[in-house]
Structure 1
Amino acid sequence: MSIRSRTLSRNVLSQIEMADSGSSAANLHHQEPSRATNLDLSRLPPVYVLAAHLSLNEQHEAEDVLSSGGAPLTYDIKEANLVLGNISKKRRAKSELQWKGVRMEDIDSEDGLHASRSSSASGDSKQAKKRRRLANARDGRGQRATEEIDSSTASETEEDQVDTKPMSQLSLSRVSTPSTMDSSNTIEFKEPSPSMLTPEAFANKVKVVKLDWLNDSLCAGKLQNLEPYTIYKARLLPAAEPAVKSLPMVKSVGIKPDLVINKNPYMKEGALRDIVERANADPKPAVNGYNKHDRIKYAAKQDIVGKSFSSSTQAANQPHTQSVTRPTQLLHQTTSEHDEAVSSTLPPPPDWVKGNKIYACERATPLISPNKDFIAELKKIRLARLLTLDEIGVRAYSTSIASLAAYPYPIQSTREILALPGCDQKIAHLFHEYQTTNRLLAVEDLEADPALKVLREFYEIWGVGAKTAREFYYDKGWRDLDDIVEHGWKSLSRVQQIGLKYYDEFLLKIPRSEVESITATITDHAKFVTDSNVETIIVGGYRRGKSESGDVDVILSHRNEAMTYNLVDRVVKSLEKESWITHTLTLNLTNTKRKQEPLPISTATLGGHGFDTLDKALVVWQDPNWATKKADLATNPKAKNPNPHRRVDIIISPWRTVGCAIAGWTSGTTFQRDLRRYAKYRKGWKFDSSKYPFGAIISPSIPQSKS
């Protein structure tokens, strides 16, 4: 599913509305704590505990319970036949296995249904009834409704399963005994037969089971039937052969396999000796120092090692990881490429190419590049670099993309690529691959990577950056927008909550006509609170000529400096009064607080200001008028406004700094960065959007460049 076409489910929107109105999922029924009963879990197949929706302590607690009961606990999900998790949906269970690299195929649901029926058959023609608590259904008195269901439906899909409590509400160390639990809310199951837990029953299969199974088994003091708790079943497929295998392990003398006792019945013959040999071959950890374990960074490295977009440094940190890597391809060149006849067909290079002008602010860039398709592929790689926190890679690709975008001719040869400032052999090789196959294997790998798909979706939330998106994925264990709303709504900042609430609307592009309409309304209100001499400049993508914009950036200025003092606060209040602004995300009055004085030139006092220090308001905009408003409100006084919410930035600049403000807010990130570098290294100036006109302030502390 495309990230752009991703829409919030009705369930998510309803949860957001509940969160806004003060509703909370914290009103779940708490059970009285009691001491857990020890169980013999040695009959279980290899077990893995999913970290999703569990804190680190809760995950370790579950693993300790399994280990103390003799369960064959594994920390490699690919070796597990039984997976326990605090999840309730089949789709999520399947995605968790896929994200962790398990190769599998679905098992026909009829097989599971038959197994469930055969295990619960008791010779009686009349099947036992049990009661199920509904998580979402309530009767008219606000009490949870119950319904009787046939025990033959115990293996249905997750839509008919019982919703699980969050682990924060029901801990393994605080489970209730059967005597303390309400009989109307319990589910009684027969103890599984020994044949259901044999190696043959789990041969080449994996089952994802709710963690409630372990809780209920501890409460009952005996193992419960797995089938009513089973969310997903799959048949394991053999591992794919890697394109380039890791180096063979060196055998070493260490642990003797003959000394190992309590062999697991699920372990194949010879597997034990292989495990011991692999353990002996592993490098011994250093004991002369303490290294703090960063779980987020470690998980990130594990996710990207072996992928075509992983850096050499990351790969070096995991030297023993078996990974699939693509062989390095050389840039092929023929002697015919250097012939005079071929060279004469190439267009003459622009002056900025001849002069090797490396700064983006030194060259003009057309609105639509003749190489836009190849540039679009490079932008996908740059986004992956951004999501993996590879700042060096992001800057390198940004420089190359800016140079390619400024090139006015369709690129025909890798020689043209190598001649462009900021483009090297790597970009030339990518162009050669794209020119030959009309695709990039690196981009295909990135688009197929499940981790990057989720990170891109989180990154699209307004107020969530690359680092925060990675924290959501690796630290919190969230895998989609539903997870954020269900498990982390209260932990989000107000800006992030608004960005998630209007996720789909903020992704919609704004046509130029609507940008002009929004600007006209802002101008009218600015004139109302000052006078008619207020001047408005639309910047951002609109000023660059784009047909559609992601948001609206408007600069307000006045030739009388007194009129721009605290102007942003007055304009925002006027717009809010007439319901044009629904939310004010941020309101900065930095320039007003320093009485609109320019920033000092001193390098020591210049740090930490960021993009600029102008007064600005970042708001959520919605047109309060629509065609059928009167009729809709007459029918329903609470009728919702159908107009989409828009992102609008209102910037206030005194007249003496308006030139710098326009330059700063119109250009892209690479242009802004190069403009500051050019001013510093070529002119000996300091550039800031809130300085004197055009940033042309010569600082005596910075020597003039000789170039």
Structure 2
Amino acid sequence: MDDSSSTIATIDHDAHQLIRTKPDFKALPPVYVLAAHLSINEQHEAEDALSHGGASLTYDIHEARLVLGNISRPKRAKSELQWKGVRVEDVNDKPSAENPISSLDPEDRGPARKRKRLGDRDDDLSKRNVGVVIDDLSTTDDEQESSDVTSSNTRAAKDTPPSPSLSGSPTDRVMVIKLDWLNDSLSAGRVLPLEPYSIYTGRVVPLEEPATNHPAAMKVNGMKSFTSNKSTDIEETLPRGIMERAKADPKPTVNRYIKRDRIKDAANKDFVGKSFSSSTQAAGQPSSQHITRPTHLLHQTTSEHDEVASSALPPMPDWVRENKIYACERATPLTSPNEAFICQLRKIKLARLLTLDEIGVRAYSSSIASLAAYPYPIQSTREILALPSCDQKIAHLFREYQTNNGELQAVADLEADPALKVLREFYEIWGVGAKTAREFYYDKGWRDLDDIVEHGWKSLSRVQQIGLKYYDEFMLKIPRAEVESIAATITKHACLVTDDGIESILVGGYRRGKSESGDVDLILSHRNPAKTHNLVSLVVKSLEKSHWITHTLTLNLTNSKRNQEPLPINNSASPGGHGFDTLDKALVVWQDWPSKAADLKADPNAKNPNVHRRVDIIVSPWRTVGCAVAGWTSGTTFQRDLRRYVKRVKGWKFDSSGVRQRGTGDWIDLEGWRDMKTRCRDWKEAERRVFEGMGLVYREPWNRCTG
């Protein structure tokens, strides 16, 4: 063998020895790997590296004194602990020689949050900055000395590897450090000092002890999280004597830090079994938050019985006496005398929606619709129980609402919960539903809109990117005058691409009488079927050319592709539809600029100063325009019950594109389109015929406000 071959063999041997060298993590306390900003594979790689090094890996953050996570800011590290139900207070907020890293918090000196893309994130785990939570006194004097000279004398540090020693440190302290510590330790083949990678140090506050450093944060810190330890919840609810006797019983010895099977969707079960209803608590007693509460039976006192005997219920409406369970069988006005209580129930319904409790959403929707239709201010639980779709749970909530000055503990708990706060914010992004919001929070580990921009922009759909880009603008309501102006412009362009026979109908919240709308819903129709074929694409192109539309998010020509025939019975899918029909439609972003000519004359480089709006343009053939107007005008629960009523009472299938017989799939002409003599004179008459054909009393648009 020549000298070059010998040299190569020596190098390969040394490299092989270096690769085989593994740091010994046995001296570390229980370690927890935070999933924030890490993919499943990246999280597992970090856990495997620690486990192979002999670390005591735990999957319960309450047991950990060392927590790894993809974070780099002290405030964010503290927030992550609180989101996981770990209450902490700062140990050392001021920069010092012992803790210089605390002065580097960008949140303490930087501007307010911004939603600017910060660049592509590197998927290589070794290049990530990930935080570790550990005791601030966990290093020995040798480690501190080594950390001070690491940058200037790396070779000396490698020759004398210090190992963190946590045996003498307080057990209630946690410290945040970067993932570089783990990666550098793996590269060096030894456990490096912790201090150079430090981000945050905190003291764990027991549940019975209030945090003292930050009074403003006491309410959040004092709240028990949905992810809190179940055994702690049980212990707090049982009598102390029982718990003391149970603790005295001998228990088998179990290693709490052995590696267990990973369950990817475990976080999605945070809200399973939560009732979101609460019992009335004694004055001065702290609320027991985020635990499952059963629906309580109503308890009546002697004075309540005397009140019942001395006063009768107000005269019940016909729909109450006849137990009409469908919202389409009664009038629901825009404003209700019980609006304050209904508002509280809507918040609980939203929480059910965000936790994917479909049954709970439907139940609360029905109860809210029934309460909204009731014409009197509710005085007693007897009235609640008399209403269709209102059971003892709603009556109990009303009793609490009465006794607690219009407040519900369940609503207070939900509004204070940090997870639901984030889910609500994500859910309000246009193009993001409840399921996707939960994926963002649990699977991706995102906690605010900046996280989505920084870590997930490329993974978003185009609709979601636009929804995030104009998040603040889309949250603004649209006044009625502006809705009318937008509709007039669209109608003008529709006439330009066809003729003056175009008829436009403003529907949605505007037609129900709302003073402000979240978006603009406009139906276009023409008595000549040939004029509505492919009309939506022609209108959108004309509006884009005139710069009224800045983004076309969805353009559906489903109805034109099937030659404007009603949707077949066996086609249960709604490809790209709005959720309840397959009419041709375009969902666009609109930006008004009435002073464009004057602004450009004054400044050729002027930009449009107006906000972006959401606009839905729907095209309906004339022969089913009544169904389209009825569907798109009515409130959500009214629409749902209209379909349920027609299915169960008539055996038909209804949506905004027409009515069909379920048995044969034949189209049912409720609007009299086939006969020229009986054909509807206008779309208003067509809508009335739809109600009459279904055997329902026609309800004016402002009486379909079920929400």
- The change in CA–CA distance for 1:304 and 1:604 in structure 2 (over 3 A counts) is closer
Q: How far does residue 251 in structure 1 lie from its aligned partner after superposition?
A: 12
Q: Match of 2:641?
A: 674
Report if the CA contact (8 A) 1:88-1:158 is conserved: no
- The CA deviation string for residues 102-133 of structure 1, in whole angstroms up to 9 with x for no partner, is 121112223x62424xxxxxxxxxxxxxxxxx
Q: Which runs of 5+ in 2 are unaligned?
A: 1-14, 110-117, 129-149, 209-231, 279-288, 667-692, 697-707
Q: Match of 1:65?
A: 49
3-state SS of 1:641 partner: coil
Report if the CA contact (8 A) 1:558-1:654 is conserved: yes
Q: Match of 2:91?
A: 107
Name the amino acid aligned to 1:244: T
3-state SS of 2:655 partner: coil
Instruction: State yes or no: 1:244 paired with 2:232.
Output: no
Q: How far does residue 79 in structure 1 lie from its aligned partner after superposition?
A: 1.4
3-state SS of 1:77 partner: coil
Report if the CA contact (8 A) 2:29-2:65 is conserved: yes
Instruction: State yes or no: 1:412 paired with 2:360.
Output: no
Instruction: State yes or no: 1:475 paired with 2:475.
Output: no
Q: Match of 1:169?
A: 124
Q: How far does residue 484 in structure 1 lie from its aligned partner after superposition?
A: 1.2
Report if the CA contact (8 A) 1:585-1:617 is conserved: yes
- The change in CA–CA distance for 1:153 and 1:688 in structure 2 (over 3 A counts) is closer
Report if the CA contact (8 A) 1:86-1:166 is conserved: no
**Cα distance in structure 1, aligned partners of 2:695 and 2:656:** 26
- The change in CA–CA distance for 1:371 and 1:342 in structure 2 (over 3 A counts) is farther
- The change in CA–CA distance for 1:166 and 1:231 in structure 2 (over 3 A counts) is farther
Name the amino acid aligned to 1:663: A
Q: How far does residue 334 in structure 1 lie from its aligned partner after superposition?
A: 3.7
**Cα distance in structure 2, aligned partners of 1:474 and 1:56:** 11
Report if the CA contact (8 A) 2:35-2:69 is conserved: yes
- The change in CA–CA distance for 1:632 and 1:91 in structure 2 (over 3 A counts) is farther
- The CA deviation string for residues 279-317 of structure 1, in whole angstroms up to 9 with x for no partner, is 79x9xx9xxxxxx97622x2121x225754399xxxxxx
Identify which of 157, 162, 181 aligns with 1:213. Answer: 181
Name the amino acid aligned to 2:386: A
Report if the CA contact (8 A) 1:505-1:646 is conserved: yes
3-state SS of 1:115 partner: coil
Q: How far does residue 58 in structure 1 lie from its aligned partner after superposition?
A: 1.7
3-state SS of 1:583 partner: strand
Q: How far does residue 574 in structure 1 lie from its aligned partner after superposition?
A: 0.4
Name the amino acid aligned to 2:326: Y
Aligned residues: 581
Name the amino acid aligned to 2:407: R
Give matches, 1:410-449, under 5 Å.
410-437=377-404, 438-449=406-417
Instruction: State yes or no: 1:276 paired with 2:253.
Output: yes
Q: How well do the aligned residues superpose, as a CA RMSD in angstroms?
A: 3.9
3-state SS of 2:98 partner: helix
Report if the CA contact (8 A) 1:246-1:323 is conserved: no
Give matches, 1:278-677, under 5 Å.
295-296=264-265, 298-301=266-269, 303-304=270-271, 307-309=274-276, 324-326=291-293, 329-334=296-301, 337=304, 344=311, 346-437=313-404, 438-600=406-568, 603-605=569-571, 611-626=580-595, 629-630=599-600, 633-634=603-604, 637=605, 639-677=606-644
Q: Match of 1:47?
A: 31
Name the amino acid aligned to 2:253: V
Instruction: State yes or no: 1:156 paired with 2:104.
Output: yes
Name the amino acid aligned to 1:535: E
Q: How far does residue 338 in structure 1 lie from its aligned partner after superposition?
A: 5.2
TM-score w.r.t. structure 2 length?
A: 0.74
- The change in CA–CA distance for 1:83 and 1:164 in structure 2 (over 3 A counts) is farther
- The change in CA–CA distance for 1:326 and 1:559 in structure 2 (over 3 A counts) is closer
Report if the CA contact (8 A) 1:418-1:424 is conserved: yes
Give matches, 1:80-119, under 5 Å.
80-110=64-94, 113-116=96-99
Q: How far does residue 552 in structure 1 lie from its aligned partner after superposition?
A: 0.4
Q: How far does residue 73 in structure 1 lie from its aligned partner after superposition?
A: 2.3
- The change in CA–CA distance for 1:36 and 1:362 in structure 2 (over 3 A counts) is farther
Q: Which runs of 5+ in 1 are unaligned?
A: 1-31, 117-151, 174-184, 253-269, 286-291, 312-321
Q: How far does residue 64 in structure 1 lie from its aligned partner after superposition?
A: 2.0
Q: How far does residue 49 in structure 1 lie from its aligned partner after superposition?
A: 1.4
TM-score w.r.t. structure 1 length?
A: 0.74
**Cα distance in structure 1, aligned partners of 2:67 and 2:251:** 23
- The change in CA–CA distance for 1:613 and 1:367 in structure 2 (over 3 A counts) is same
**Cα distance in structure 2, aligned partners of 1:195 and 1:221:** 12
Identify which of 196, 200, 203 aligns with 1:232. Answer: 200
- The CA deviation string for residues 552-608 of structure 1, in whole angstroms up to 9 with x for no partner, is 0000111122211111111000000011001111111111112212234xx435565
- The CA deviation string for residues 337-369 of structure 1, in whole angstroms up to 9 with x for no partner, is 455876645421111111110000000011111
- The CA deviation string for residues 217-267 of structure 1, in whole angstroms up to 9 with x for no partner, is 233344333223222211111234744149989999xxxxxxxxxxxxxxx
3-state SS of 2:68 partner: strand
- The CA deviation string for residues 494-545 of structure 1, in whole angstroms up to 9 with x for no partner, is 1111111111111111111110010010011111111112111000000110
Q: How far does residue 481 in structure 1 lie from its aligned partner after superposition?
A: 1.2
Report if the CA contact (8 A) 1:195-1:201 is conserved: no
Name the amino acid aligned to 2:512: R
Q: How far does residue 336 in structure 1 lie from its aligned partner after superposition?
A: 5.0
3-state SS of 1:367 partner: coil
Q: How far does residue 171 in structure 1 lie from its aligned partner after superposition?
A: 3.5
- The change in CA–CA distance for 1:153 and 1:470 in structure 2 (over 3 A counts) is closer
Q: Match of 1:38?
A: 22
Report if the CA contact (8 A) 1:382-1:397 is conserved: yes
**Cα distance in structure 1, aligned partners of 2:615 and 2:434:** 22
Q: How far does residue 447 in structure 1 lie from its aligned partner after superposition?
A: 1.1
- The CA deviation string for residues 626-662 of structure 1, in whole angstroms up to 9 with x for no partner, is 477337744xx3x542211111000001111111001
Q: How far does residue 472 in structure 1 lie from its aligned partner after superposition?
A: 1.2
- The change in CA–CA distance for 1:188 and 1:61 in structure 2 (over 3 A counts) is farther
Name the amino acid aligned to 1:73: L
Q: Match of 1:142?
A: none
Report if the CA contact (8 A) 2:296-2:393 is conserved: no
